[in-house]
Amino acid sequence: MDLTAELNTAAWRKASRSGTNGGDCIEVAPLSQGRVAIHDTEAPDQAPYVVRGEVWAAFVDGAKKGEFDF
């Protein structure tokens, strides 16, 4: 399956707490080959970012550790 078709049929999900900030959130979807697609709900016409699973895992780990807190 090519990437465009895969993105069109992807199982997008968003964080359960995403509604607390007025609806601004990202959605993520697992893809083939261990990749993860990331989509900004405020920019539905923009193509999603696609990253390797290792990159996504490192981001999630950093977020859990507070590395991105302001």
Report DSSP letters for 46-61, one per residue.
SPPEEEEHHHHHHHHH
- Convert the chain into a string of H (helix), E (strand) and C (coil): CCHHHHHHCCCCEECCCHHHHCCCCEEEEECHHHEEEEEECCCCCCCCEEEEHHHHHHHHHHHHCCCCCC
CA distances from 39 to 7, 65, 70 (A): 10, 23, 22
pLDDT, the chain, mean: 89
Q: Above 90 in pLDDT, residue 24?
A: no
pTM of the model: 0.81
